[in-house]
Structure 1
Amino acid sequence: MDYATAWFYFSAFLLGMYLAFDGFDLGIGTLLFFVKDQKDRDVLVNTIAPVWDGNEVWFITWGAGIFAMWPALYAVLFSTFYLAIWLLAFLLIFRAVSFEFRNRNKELWDKLFALVSALIALVLGVVVGNLVQGIPIDAKGFHGSLLTLFRPFPLIVGLFVLFAVTWHGANWAVYKTTGKLQEQMRKHAFNFWLLTVIFLLLTVIGMKIWAPLRFERALTPLGLALTLIILIAGLLDGYLIKKGAEKLAFYISWLAFPLVVFLIYYTMYPYWVISTTDPNFKLSIYDLAASPLTLQAVLGVSVILAVIIMAYTLYVYRAFGGKVTEAEGYY
């Protein structure tokens, strides 16, 4: 395996870890829309209070890796997704602000935190959907606007990501809470699990219609095996939610994210960018990569950094393990 390919799949690992860990944070935020009792909202926020900011380190590491290893890709992405990327950056900043300021006016800031969390998941999915489908770009640049990015297939992917993180967040809430709140979250977990499965199937169908080049990769033996594993895991999770196996249900939804990300990366390989207006215009991981020496030198350091981040993350989760009550945490 060459270093460009190694970095490509290592970035898949980093993004998968971000969605696995911070995904349930976004889900908890979105679930605040559905919880009326203030004490229950406090409990939900307390389940992520010690870990939410640390979870974002995976996203920062992923973004830094993309910038360092594929600097030309950054130029393409910013010319294409300029407003979308700035919108995402604003949402991430405002999410932190709303979290820290919620003790000033919980009713207001909880709604804003919920809105921002949902929009982050949606926009992330829309950006990924555009990379999968392809964008109206050629040698002269991007031909479109912000609204161009919100086409049917990217919107389907965006809603899939939104429902998936909300399902994941509900599984986390069931795992971390007790009593009536836990039962309420179990119902949400099943409902959003069902929506996630539906939109996963719609994403696969949409890929066949709007992204045939990517769909062909999904039909290879490895692509089909990954798809089958994801579907089985998803269906199993619905059964576990109904049976009350809260811990295993959360672990399966956690594992689903890196598997889905790896499958998406696999279908995209080796092209980061494909054009919907010029079939001959494609930008591969080799076209956009940094020098081989840079790829080789930074990979080992980045793997060590990822191991350190994982060790710290697991330590924090161990330190703050167990059920959460309204008397715990800060808010």
Structure 2
Amino acid sequence: MEFFDLSIIWALIIGFGVIMYVLMDGFDLGLGILYPFAPDETSRDVMMNSVAPVWDGNETWLVLGGAGLLGAFPLVYSVFLPALYIGVFLMLAGLIFRGIAFEFRFKARRSRRWWNRAFCWGSAVAAFAQGAVVGAYIQGFAVEDFTYVGGALDWLTPFTVLTGLGLMIGYALLGATWLILKSEGHVQAWAYRIAPPLLVGVLAVFATISVWTPFVDGAVRSRWFDHLAVIWVLPALALGCALWLWRAVRRRQEGQPFVATLGLFIFTYLGLVASKWPVIVPPDHTIWDAASAPGSQLFLLIGVLFVIPIVLAYTAWTYWVFRGKVRPDDGYH
């Protein structure tokens, strides 16, 4: 197998791992963002119980993607970590606090409100940091001789703040539609009410980012307008999913809003990939520049090809076992 082929295969594997993490961990981060706005404590019990059995399995995709990225494209780590150290630290700290809250909130009595806050703030910080990292990837890094030469806070700009807030709203929408699917009664009614304004917020932020991005990255601007008929298919499909979501919520359908939101995320993600491909370390380092030796890639690929089916099977089995509606007295603790 040629080096060229291995690099593309690994790019597809890591891209798949990233979108799986965004979709599967996104809705429980979204529930954490919505936590303070829930109608009552019973609603918060339902929200946490709906993701308690699956949240840790969802993060498997983050570990898989991160480990694969280190082995297959080491240049990405050598640039991204110094450039995004603070952002990545905030993301991991948020995920840690969110995970601790899952374990302790169910057992706490007098201190439950503090674990509620840990769940909320941990989810919000992690979501914002992830969105800011995406924004930093779009705007690029100061790289010379495959070494990051910028400052520790160069990633934090008005553009990355917008992408961070945008992903928070997007995750909140994903959490609301998940709650529509998994809850009933007044909790589901509340989720139906908040989904439309969250969708409007997501579309407003996405539109602003779409207008701003060509001014941030000239290469993206050229690609968008040189391949207008092809690349704009993906935003059109994303808007189609948004319309589907709006109609499904108005008709009080339960499963379709969540599926439509997944589609909205998938087509937006594919639009980002199409805009930057094959650059993996902006502004101009491609996947072949960043790749490790072919022997290393092949060795890791053999292991990953065994691991991914197992993770997929475990994930499917977990969601099947915990299918159906969640009630306040349910839970695995």
TM-score interval, smaller chain = over 0.9
Give a deviation string over 1:9-61, Cα, whole Å, max 9, x none: 22111110111111101011111110141111111100001101100001111
| Residues 177, 324 of structure 1: 8 Å contact kept | yes
1:142 deviation in Å? 2.5
| Residues 4, 289 of structure 1: 8 Å contact kept | yes
Choose from 311, 315, 318 the match for 2:317: 315
- Is 1:161 the counterpart of 2:164? The answer is no
1:228 deviation in Å? 1.4
Give a deviation string over 1:252-299, Cα, whole Å, max 9, x none: 212333332232122221222235xxxxxx322111111122223433
Do the aligned partners of residues 312 and 69 (structure 1) sit closer, same or farther apart at CA in structure 2, a change above 3 Å counting?
A: same
Choose from 153, 166, 184 the match for 1:178: 184
Q: What SS class does the counterpart of residue 2 from structure 1 fall into?
A: helix
**Following the alignment from structure 1 to structure 2, what is the Cα–Cα distance between the partners of residues 300 and 256?**
32
Partner of 2:255: 247
1:175 deviation in Å? 0.8
| Residues 124, 158 of structure 1: 8 Å contact kept | yes
**Following the alignment from structure 2 to structure 1, what is the Cα–Cα distance between the partners of residues 38 and 183?**
14
1:313 deviation in Å? 0.8
- Is 1:293 the counterpart of 2:295? The answer is yes
Alignment of 1:48-197 (within 5 A): 48-102=51-105, 103-104=107-108, 105-139=111-145, 141-146=148-153, 148-197=154-203
How many residues get paired? 324
Amino acid in structure 1 at the alignment position of 2:28: D
Give a deviation string over 1:58-101, Cα, whole Å, max 9, x none: 11111111111011211111111122222222222221112211
Amino acid in structure 2 at the alignment position of 1:23: G
| Residues 12, 262 of structure 1: 8 Å contact kept | no
**Following the alignment from structure 2 to structure 1, what is the Cα–Cα distance between the partners of residues 266 and 6?**
21
Alignment of 1:23-42 (within 5 A): 23-42=26-45
Choose from 232, 241, 261 the match for 1:233: 241
Amino acid in structure 1 at the alignment position of 2:48: V
The TM-score, its normalising length taken from structure 1, stands at 0.92
Partner of 1:278: none
Task: Using the TM superposition, name which of 292-301 and 83-92 deviates more.
Answer: 292-301
Note the aligned Cα RMSD (angstroms): 1.8
